[in-house]
DNA sequence: GCCAACGTTGGC
DNA sequence: GCCAACGTTGGC
């Protein structure tokens, strides 16, 4: 199974709302690289939920409960896709962007390399390390 | 609020 | 098909 990271501006859609709604369609991705990542997601894959802009930290974990389908928030016939994600659990301690940046083992992360990419892959190693950091912090 | 990075658009 | 101009995102 694969791991991912999805970004949301908490002003637009926050982790709290994700938890409250439980399952939520992840729509509005308008970038082809991000779209390709959405299409690679499979049922049961997990993703970090990251708050961009205000917060700038990973706050929780979601699971993919529906694979890519036409994004209902985009025009009919447009290529954009959405997936449905379900809140799994919050991180005991959010891991901030600042912390990840100074962690040598994470310097190759898609999140850090392509700061504007809203849906990116996370490697097994990165996934485990960040979970550990969230626990120990 | 500024600016860097990057995607997209449009003139040629 | 190239590239400059412009818009958007997101960190600071």
Task: Write down the pLDDT at residue A26.
Answer: 95
Tell me if A28 sits within 8 A of A73, measured CB to CB: yes
Strand C nucleotides, any atom under 7 Å to a protein CB? 8-12
Q: What are the tens digits of pLDDT across the range A63-102?
A: 999 999 999 988 877 889 999 999 999 999 999 999 999 9
Cβ count within 10 A of residue A93 = 15
Instruction: Answer for A69: CB within 7 Å of strand B.
Output: no
Question: Is residue A39 very low, low, confident or very high in pLDDT (cuts 50, 70, 90)?
Answer: very high
Instruction: Answer for A46: CB within 7 Å of strand C.
Output: no
Instruction: Answer for A73: CB within 7 Å of strand C.
Output: no
C-alpha gyration radius of chain A: 14
Point out the nucleotide closest to A111 (alpha carbon to C1′).
C10
Beta bridge partners of A86: A23, A63
* C-alpha distances in Å from residue A77, one per residue of A36, A81, A87, A134: 17, 11, 29, 41
């Amino acid at each position: 199974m694969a791991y991912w990271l999805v970004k949301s501006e908490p002003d637009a859609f926050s982790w709290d709302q994700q938890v409250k709604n439980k399952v939520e369609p992840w729509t509005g991705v308008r970038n082809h690289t991000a779209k390709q990542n959405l299409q690679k997601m499979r049922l049961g894959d997990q993703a970090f939920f990251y708050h961009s802009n205000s917060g700038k930290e990973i706050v929780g974990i979601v699971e993919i409960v529906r694979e890519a389908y036409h994004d209902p928030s985009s025009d009919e016939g447009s290529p954009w896709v959405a997936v449905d994600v379900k809140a799994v659990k919050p991180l005991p301690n959010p891991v901030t962007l600042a912390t990840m940046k100074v962690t040598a083992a994470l310097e190759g992360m898609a999140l850090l390399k392509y700061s504007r990419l809203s849906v990116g892959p996370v490697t097994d190693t990165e996934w485990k390390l960040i979970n550990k950091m969230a626990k120990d912090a």
